Amino acid sequence: MNDRVGDYVARLFAAEDEILVSLREEADRTGLPPISISADTGRLLQVLLLAIGARRVLEVGTLGGYSAIWIARGLPVDGQLTSIEVEPRHAEFAARYLRRAGVDGKVDIRVGHALDVLASLDGEQFDAIFLDADKEPLPTYFEWGLRLVRRGGLIIADNALWGGRVVDERVDDESTRGVRELNRRMATDPRVAGILVPTHDGVAIGVVR
């Protein structure tokens, strides 16, 4: 999608309110990495969650809470998002904005390494998991998704195009390998029906069969 078409979609379908705008501005000002999802990706998440009637969602990679706010707003009043973040500074920033957005009652931030927190959640069941942290372990996160998400639920991964590096044959680092392997499983693993939507940096979506 070229920029003008992308802007058209984002303006029409994914307008940000003042809280989301202020979150991004403060994140930039205070040196949080500018790697939140795009607004149209946020809207896509909401549409998907509403479509499956999601009540319980798991996010891997909170950062400043930008995606968490989009997700929480796509859940019913008694819905619950558990979001995993390894950096306490990111988790504190996110907690502040979740309060400002009035969704702090719906979101539980767990500070820790994703693999440790995921293991502690074994036995629980979620309607969807959103993978948006480090990319090397994506194949392992995908397997956790299959374990934790109910049948008919969703495994969703951001940055599935990884800035175009997935198709650049000269690139062969661990992160890119992780994204390629995630995409390969989304495309071919019989346990999911998957697709990659080329929104922004790409969103891979798999329905758990």
Site for Mg ion in 42-71 (CB under 5 A): none
Residue 134 engages ligand SAH in binding (rule: CB under 6 A): yes
CA-closest candidate to residue 19, choices 63, 80, 65, 87: 65
Of 59-67, 120-128, 145-153, 176-184, the window that binds ligand SAH (rule: CB under 6 A) is 59-67
Residue 159 engages Mg ion in binding (rule: CB under 5 A): yes
Number of residues that bind Mg ion (CB under 5 A): 3
Query: Where do runs of H (alpha helix) occur along 16-171?
Result: 18-29, 39-51, 66-73, 88-100, 114-120, 138-148
Residue 85 engages Mg ion in binding (rule: CB under 5 A): no
Residue 114 engages ligand SAH in binding (rule: CB under 6 A): yes
Residue 45 binds: one of ligand SAH, Mg ion, none (C-beta under 5 to 8 A by kind): none
Torsion angle of the four alpha carbons 165, 166, 168, 171, in this order, in degrees rounded to the nearest 10 = 70
Please, what is the minimum distance in Å from the beta carbon of residue 76 to Mg ion? Answer: 25
Residue 67 engages ligand SAH in binding (rule: CB under 6 A): yes
Nearer to ligand SAH, 33 or 164 (CB): 33
Tokens standing for residue 137 = 């372990």
Contacts of 36 (CB under 8 A, 6+ apart): 24, 27, 63, 64, 66, 67
Q: Which amino acid is at 24?
A: R
Interface with ligand SAH (CB under 6 A), residue from 43, 56, 73, 90: 90
- Report the DSSP pairing between strands 149-158 and 203-208: antiparallel
Length of the chain: 209
Residue 66 binds: one of ligand SAH, Mg ion, none (C-beta under 5 to 8 A by kind): ligand SAH
Q: Which amino acid is at 175?
A: S
Interface with Mg ion (CB under 5 A), residue from 85, 104, 127, 158: 158
